[in-house]
Chains A and B, each alone.
Chain A
Amino acid sequence: MNEGGLVLLAILLTSLVPGLVIFFLAEASVLLRTVINLAGAVLKLLLVLWTMHQVGQGVIYELRWPFLPGLDLVLRADHLAVFFGLLSAGLWLLTTLYAVGYLEGSPNRSRFFGFFSLCVFSTTGIAFAGNLHTFFIFYELLTITTYPLVVHRGTAAAFQAGRIYLAYTLGGGAVLLLGVVWLSVLAGPVDFTQVGILEAVYTQQPSTLVLVFALLVAGLGVKAALFLLHSWLPIAMVAPAPVSALLHAVAVVKAGAFGVVRVVYDVYGVGLLARLELDLPLALWAAMTILYGSLMALRQDDLKRRLAYSTVSQISYIVLGVALLGPLGTVGGLAHLVHQGLMKITMFMCAGIFSEVHNVKKVSQMAGMGRRMPWTMAAFSLTALGMIGLPPLVGFYSKWYLALGALESPYPAFALVLLASSLLNAAYFLPILYAAWFVAPSAELPRASRPGQETSWMLLLPPMVTSLLVLGMGLLAASPFSPLVWAIRFAQGEHGP
């Protein structure tokens, strides 16, 4: 095994080992558990950063493990992998910190953090998977490891949500499996480096390729919460806030979206998809999801449900960008992969703070929240404005490049979808901001003006950091540190400069 392979293995182990160890820790050993968790998270972040540095130098790490005859498990750190890997590693660290604060004093914490780590282990695996069936393996692992988190509260509603979650995701997994196996029967092991491999199949059975693509996207679409496959997502928000944050920002829905990205760029390839004329149906599906999610979000009074529908809508930005098949759409979609993660994780963490500290769970109870907890609300507001797509926040750049991508594609009308969705975003986020900042609180509650006063720093720090990233990455969008530039670099590799 080469050095690079060891690094990749270590990246996976930094969350697998803490996860397994934590299961066996006593409930009361809070400090030890926290230390293990954070140590794993920090270590993983450092390793991913190192890998990212190497990729920037042109060094591609790879690890192979023979699995079945002619079928290897492959981990590889390419551009896309580190892109998504860094997102999950970074946000995991913050969410862990948040979760430690959030669950202080609640039961079953060892179990929670154990599965939490396993969940991230799976997500990292998805990020670094080097071929389609390795991807599938981690994708399914993610399904299972997330279930205990969704039902963590142990209430009837939680179990109901868990059942729906399972029915959807396992169903999606089954469909995906069908597509993956079919594809590997047609073309052998589908490594993400061999984009041209399906060309031979294309000349013989183009219609089969269409069918397989439909299976793959439908399977991935369940997790990515595409229209008609999305119902589980708003229901699954009964999970504790850190879980929702992770679920919506990096883990489950993002895994689906990332899968679509992989399938489009690294399995089928842009050229083949265009020849199969699959771009328009996919883009239409995404567009429908975008509008539907936004419309549904408008109706929700429950804050987390509103955010969940917003995720439904926002994730399809990524799918739309990818489906447009052009370089600018690629940039927008990929950048949104990170941007949406940063924004949504902030919002869910803030929503968690509102419900934890003041038991505010509904939009209609948000009056005066800006005065009660100004820092939390500021973070929330910043990201909400980012979601609407106002410059200089990161959401703007996603929208900008996506719309430019639509305009350069054969279907410029999709730019309209993005504009309409921005309007709807404004329609469901601005009333919250209005109520929070401009309406006096109904009952006189202690006002907090310094960060320490409104809630514990462990809860407050992570959303502050992510919201500052939302601002900073937007301001410095053209600098080499921004995800946008990485997305542009990837798009140049994919489409030529």
Chain B
Amino acid sequence: MSELPWIVWVVLTPLAGALLAFLWPAQGVRVALLAGLGTGVAVLGLSLQLAQLGAQRYAVGAWDPPLGISLYADGLTAVMLLMTLLVFAPTLVYARAYFKQTAHLFWSLGLFLWAALNALFLSGDVFNLYVTLELLGLSAVALTALGGQSQALVAAYRYLLASLLGSLSYLLGVGLLYAEYATLDLQTLGQVIGLDPASAVALALMATGMLLKTALFPLHFWLPPAHASAAAPVSALLSGLVVKGSLYLLLRLWLEFFPETTVPASSLILGLLGAGAVVWGSWQAIRARRLKFLVAYSTVAQLGYPFLAFPLLAAGWDALAALVYFMLSHAAAKAAMFLAAGSVLRAFGQDRLAELHGLLRVLPLSVAAFILAGISLIGLPPSGGFVAKWLLLEAAFATGQWGWALVTLLGTLLAAGYVFRILTRALEDTTLSDRPSPVPRSMELTALLLAVASLLLGLVALPVLGLLEVGR
């Protein structure tokens, strides 16, 4: 069991599924669910393997780096893979009810996206990272366009341009680094890199590209329309996972190049931008008129939190744990919210907040999902968001930088502001304006499942953080 190369299957299974689903669209649903099952087994297998044996390196085709492609998995990778699995599995089930007959492409594109994400998390060199990043971006744009309406197409186009700009910026940085150090392997680079002008420009290019792709304030402009106009399961994947891909990449670079290249000021910039994101995104979410925009702006805000942890990373493990836990809990909670928002759209035909009369009566389970996921977003105990905030605050106090703690708390209050807007709407006891369309139970349940998961993440912090420590 522990001898199997799970690390390869983690990428190959969804990739094969994507190809099959593309070639055999009529059976797309079944293929996707089977591939999802397989990927899940592979991810769990890999995680167990990691927990038992420590970090894994695998050279594809037995070519050693710097020549061949190497896959690398440590605790951070495993947590990311599990996060992807956590979001993907319910989303596929949800999509089965959501898409009915249309959108065959979703299955292949979705699985392709999964493969790209997993590959991104497992890539051990900077060029492979670029390739997977590009694949991830393209499949995400394609999925966004799947919605088909003009709105979605415009948003997808904008998304495409932003995504390309980010990737190219990153590629430029990779080129500079290669010219300088003649290696692409992350760990090798980490050992040799210094702070000469060329490296500095390269690092800045790579980082800024990732910031754009992660939609960090003030480069977030593309995100709300794209996430809000995509189909619900797509939105869940985009908000829950895709932005985490580039964030993960940035974190990897940061960790690998850490002692040599980090200067306090650059982490300070990230922290400040994160703070800006928290405040601005939350404020926009509070002002949003449409449910999906509210949720999308909430993503902008929530993506600020991990960046608050960057200035604290130097202090030690707590900050990294906080950062990862933010990603994790946000992935589950945000996916739950978008899925629930999809149910709302299905039921009411629109999602203007002012017109969602009788929400609780029509969709009690979705409202429950909203509330539970919202609790995690606000960071109230015992949710995953709370654990993340707790760790972040601890790190902030331990290093004496309690300014970040204040931003976190401000974000908590603002998040409560927009989450409770939904709850208030739900509790209003007005009569229904018109007959809502029926919503399949599986759609509501999957959203609720994710929301409960985001809540329970707070109670399983110890094993998750234990896994995160593998290979550090």
Contacts and interface: CB of A to CB of B under 8 A. Distances in A.
In-complex A–B contact (CB below 8 Å): yes
B258 interface: no
Contact of A181 (B393, B416, B461, B462): B393
Given A147-B423, A151-B427, A66 B412 contact: no
Interface size class of chain A, counting residues whose CB lies under 8 Å from the partner chain = 35 or more
Contact of A177 (B364, B393, B410, B459): B393
A154 B420 contact: no
Contacts of A140: 380-381, 386
A108 interface: yes
A19 to B, nearest CB: 13
Interface residues of B, number: 36
Interface stretch (A168-176, A256-264, A295-303, A368-376): A168-176
Given A69-B465, A108-B429, A154-B429, A185 B382 contact: no
A137 interface: yes
B462 A177 contact: no
A448 interface: no
A67 interface: yes
Interface string A174-217: 11011001101110000000000000000000000000000000
B429 A181 contact: no
A221 B239 CA distance: 38
Interface in A106-149: 107-108, 111, 133, 136-138, 140-141, 143-144, 147-148
Given A136-B381, A144-B380, A68 B462 contact: yes
Nearest to A158: B427
Nearest to B360: A111
B122 interface: no
B389 interface: yes
Given A147-B423, A181-B394, A182-B397, A137 B409 contact: no
Interface in B423-445: 423-424, 427-430
A170 B416 contact: yes
Interface in B385-434: 386-387, 389-391, 393-394, 397-398, 402, 405-406, 409-410, 412-413, 416, 420, 423-424, 427-430
Contact of A170 (B381, B412, B424): B412
B461 A174 contact: no
B424 A141 contact: no
Contact of B416 (A66, A166, A177, A184): A166
A182 B395 CA distance: 10
Contacts of A159: 424, 427-428
A483 interface: no
B375 interface: yes
B427 A148 contact: yes
B380 A178 contact: no
A147 to B, nearest CB: 7
Given A68-B465, A137-B382, A140-B381, A170 B390 contact: no
A144 B376 CA distance: 12
Interface in B360-383: 360, 364, 368, 375, 378, 380-382
B413 A174 contact: yes
A68 B412 contact: no
B420 A166 contact: yes
Interface string A76-119: 00000000000000000000000000000001100100000000
A171 B413 contact: yes
A291 B360 CA distance: 43
Contacts of B398: 185
A468 to B, nearest CB: 36
Contacts of A65: 459
A160 to B, nearest CB: 10
Contacts of B402: 178, 182
B412 A174 contact: yes
A162 interface: yes
Contacts of B428: 154, 159
| Most A Cβ at <10 Å: residue of B380, B381, B387 | B381
A184 B412 contact: no
Contacts of A186: 397
Contacts of B360: 111
B393 A137 contact: no
A68 B427 contact: no
Contacts of B405: 178, 181
A63 to B, nearest CB: 14
A144 B462 CA distance: 25
A350 to B, nearest CB: 27
A305 B209 CA distance: 57
Contacts of B427: 148, 151-152, 154, 159
A67 B325 CA distance: 14
A140 B398 CA distance: 24
Among A66, A153, A182, A184, chain B packs the most CB atoms within 10 A around the CB of: A182
A175 B408 CA distance: 11
Contact of A68 (B391, B397, B410, B424): B391
A143 B380 contact: yes
A258 to B, nearest CB: 17
Interface string A292-320: 00000000000000000000000000000
A178 B459 CA distance: 21
Nearest to B371: A144
Nearest to B411: A174
B161 to A, nearest CB: 39
Contacts of A108: 429
Given A147-B420, A154-B428, A177-B389, A141 B381 contact: yes
A279 B110 CA distance: 62
B252 to A, nearest CB: 23
Nearest to B375: A144
Contacts of A182: 393, 397, 402
Given A140-B381, A151-B424, A159-B424, A178 B429 contact: no
A452 to B, nearest CB: 32
Contact of B462 (A67, A141, A163, A171): A67
A59 to B, nearest CB: 28
Contacts of B410: 174
Contacts of A171: 413
B393 A178 contact: yes
21 contacts: A68-B461, A68-B465, A140-B380, A141-B382, A143-B380, A144-B375, A144-B380, A148-B427, A154-B429, A167-B413, A170-B378, A170-B412, A170-B413, A173-B380, A178-B409, A181-B390, A181-B393, A181-B405, A182-B393, A182-B397, A185-B398
Given A133-B390, A177-B393, 10 more contacts: A68-B390, A69-B462, A147-B420, A154-B427, A154-B430, A159-B428, A177-B389, A177-B412, A181-B390, A185-B394
The 6 closest A-B pairs by CB, nearest first: A154-B429, A137-B381, A181-B393, A174-B409, A185-B397, A170-B416
